[in-house]
Amino acid sequence: MTLKGKQIRQLRSLAHHLDSVIIIGKADVNEGTVDQADKALEAHELIKCSVLDTSNLDVREAAEELAQRCRAEIVQVIGRKFVLYRETSREGAEKIQLVP
């Protein structure tokens, strides 16, 4: 699923007030990080992540790797943080209604 411009703007505005739930440090993007992000995406659909200075990856590389491994879309990369989105597959869960 490729996000459109209006959808990206909508998700960026929703993510503005979120706190980082995933922090990538010197262990970079490992299985534990992917598992945590996967669970957070399934529960919330939209998550904010931080990359510490100790990481060997720059922020864009970390975002691309984590998004690819979690089958998510990168919404925004800014400073040392990035935002990921993936629609939940849970039945009965309240989903983010994306604009067309």
State yes or no: pLDDT of 83 exceeds 90.
yes
Model pLDDT, residue 94: 80
Give burial (CB, 10 Å; 0-12/13-18/19+) of 33.
Answer: buried
1-4 LR contacts (CB < 8 Å, sep 24+) = 1/73, 1/87, 2/73, 3/73, 3/75, 3/85, 3/98
* CA atoms within a 13 Å half-sphere pointing along the CA-CB vector of 28: 9
- Is residue 27 a contact partner of residue 54, using CB atoms and an 8 Å limit? no
Could you give the strand order of the β-sheet that contains 73-78, starting from the edge strand earlier in sequence? 20-24, 46-51, 81-85, 73-78
pLDDT computed for residue 81 by the predictor: 96
pLDDT tens across 15-66, in order? 999 999 999 999 889 999 999 999 999 999 999 999 999 999 999 999 999 9
Higher pLDDT, 70 or 97: 70
pLDDT at residue 68 is higher than 90: yes
pTM of structure:
0.91
Range name among 51-60, 63-72, 85-94 with the lowest pLDDT average: 85-94
